[in-house]
Amino acid sequence: MASTATESDQKKKPRPTYTPGPYSAKLTPEDHRELLLQLYLARYFDVRLIKEKKRGRLRGTLYSSHNQEAIIVGSLFGLKPEDWISPIHRDMPAFFMKDLRSGWRNPDRMGMTVQEVCAQVWGRATSPGRARDNWSHIGSKAKHIIHSTSMLAGTIPAACGVVYADRMNGGDAVCLTFNGEGSTAQGVFHEAINFAAVHKLPVVTVIENNQWAYGTPAELEYSLEDFARRADGYGIPGLIADGQNVFDVYDKISEAVEWARAGKGPSIVECKTFRAYGHGDHDDDRAAKYRPADEVEEGRSRDPIAVMKKLMVEFGTLKPDEAKEFMAEGKGASEVTNDDFPPQVVDYLSEGVEFAVNSPEPAAEEGGMWVFKEGH
């Protein structure tokens, strides 16, 4: 395309501010629109739950993925349905966004339904884990989602085991594990990545580097300019992605996934981003004090929805007028309204909330069940 453009053409139509990588260059205009919708969906999940919490309808802590949605969306978009993921506390939307590409309402989709995830958040018996542990601590063997726990980095070894078993069975599934940069200081992070490297396991470790681990800045968690360089010590690739740019995330993760699927082994993909609010919603007020205001302002300045829209306009897959519709970007949960989101996003999530609210709590005696598997 570019080779046939004349000088004057190029002046009329400015070169996009981001050059698509080999994978995102192949995305269709429909893919672009789908990705944008998914960004809205992840954002809406977040702000809707914060609103529900403020109305006193929810217990527990929401670890907001606000401003980090491009990592979840861009990572999941390149996976095959049978691939595995291992999300953590900040990736709540990932549970229902896995394999969304197969159709949001496709019953055979290899991801949880939004109903199931909402039921979990509301602590209802219809949650995949029957609300035995809270919030993000769910998973699904059937949907290839490793059940998350509180223990940071604690599921990376399981990710290794899952794909080891899959490979033995002749499969070629890849597992994406999501981790905050702070969790990389855990001993088990090292043990698992080292194991994966030794056995060339198809495990892609996605680092959501949002610069903060609760109240501790990244420079007190590790001493590298770019965390991705940690990969060098394991003899595996370490990639860096702009975590605000869904195309770049998609490119880098796809590269890592292809590498893994080809049997070349694990890799680390550091996605640079910024935690827009508190560690959890309980921490918003304190975070406003322990983090310098200018750092926060700068960190929030590249909302992934805005970045995506700007690039789509440049690529010609979104009209400038359309870009001005649904202005969710840059708005906090208290400023944003349903009108700032495409109706299909609001409807989709509302079905989940409706389902959750109308679901029963588990029976009390379930608290004593399933310690052991009986009757074998």
Partner 1 sequence: MAAPAVSTKKNYLTALKEAISEEMGSNPDMLCIGEDIGILGGAFGVTDGLQAKFGAERVIDAPISEAAIVGVACGMCLNGKTVMAEMQFIDFISCGFDQIVNMTATYHYRTAGEVAIPMVIRGPAGGYGGGALYHSQMNEAWFANSPGLKIVCPSTPKDAKGLLKASLRDPNPVIFYEMKELYRQRAIEEDVADGDEALVPLGQAQVRRKGESLTIVTYGNNVYHCLQAAENLDKEGFSAEVVDLRTLVPLDQNTILESVKKTNRLLVVNEAPRTCGFAGEVLARIAEEAFEHLDAPPSRITRLDTPVPWVKPLESFVLPSVEKITEAALRVCRY
> What's the rounded Cα separation, in Å, for the pair 178 and 205?
6
Which of 20, 31, 51, 140 contacts partner 1 by CB under 8 A? Answer: 140
271 belongs to the binding site for Mg ion (CB under 5 A): no
Which of 4, 169, 223, 334 contacts partner 1 by CB under 8 A? Answer: 169
363 belongs to the binding site for partner 1 (CB under 8 A): no
User: Which two tokens mark 41?
Assistant: 């969906």
Which of 10, 17, 102, 150 contacts ligand TPP by CB under 6 A? Answer: 150
The answer to whether 144 and 66 are in contact (CB under 8 A) is no
Binding mask 163-182 for ligand TPP (x = CB under 6 A): -----------------xxx
243 belongs to the binding site for Mg ion (CB under 5 A): no
Smallest gap from residue 192 Cβ to partner 1 (A): 5
Query: Binding-site residue total for partner 1 (CB under 8 A)?
Result: 44
Smallest gap from residue 124 Cβ to partner 1 (A): 12
Choose the stretch contacting Mg ion; rule: CB under 5 A; options: 210-218, 322-330, 355-363, 367-375.
210-218
User: Which of 90, 92, 91 is CA-nearest to residue 213?
Assistant: 90
Residue nearest to ligand TPP (CB): 180
Nearer Cβ to partner 1, position 198 or 262?
198
Burial status of residue 21 (CB atoms within 10 A of its CB: 0-12, 13-18, 19 or more): middle
Which of 5, 25, 198, 357 contacts partner 1 by CB under 8 A? Answer: 198
Partner interacting with residue 214 (select from Mg ion, ligand TPP, partner 1, none; CB below 5-8 Å by kind): ligand TPP
180 belongs to the binding site for Mg ion (CB under 5 A): yes
User: Which two tokens mark 365?
Assistant: 């005696």
Partner interacting with residue 206 (select from ligand TPP, Mg ion, partner 1, none; CB below 5-8 Å by kind): none
152 belongs to the binding site for Mg ion (CB under 5 A): no
User: Which of 111, 92, 101 is CA-nearest to residue 44?
Assistant: 92
Smallest gap from residue 92 Cβ to Mg ion (A): 15
Q: Which amino acid is at 366?
A: E
User: Which two tokens mark 171?
Assistant: 């499969």
310 belongs to the binding site for ligand TPP (CB under 6 A): no
Residues that bind Mg ion (CB under 5 A): 180-182, 210, 213
Residues that bind partner 1 (CB under 8 A): 128-130, 132-133, 137, 139-142, 146-147, 149-151, 154-166, 168-169, 187-188, 191-192, 194-195, 198, 366, 369-373, 376
Residues that bind ligand TPP (CB under 6 A): 89-90, 150-152, 180-183, 208, 210, 212-214, 275, 279
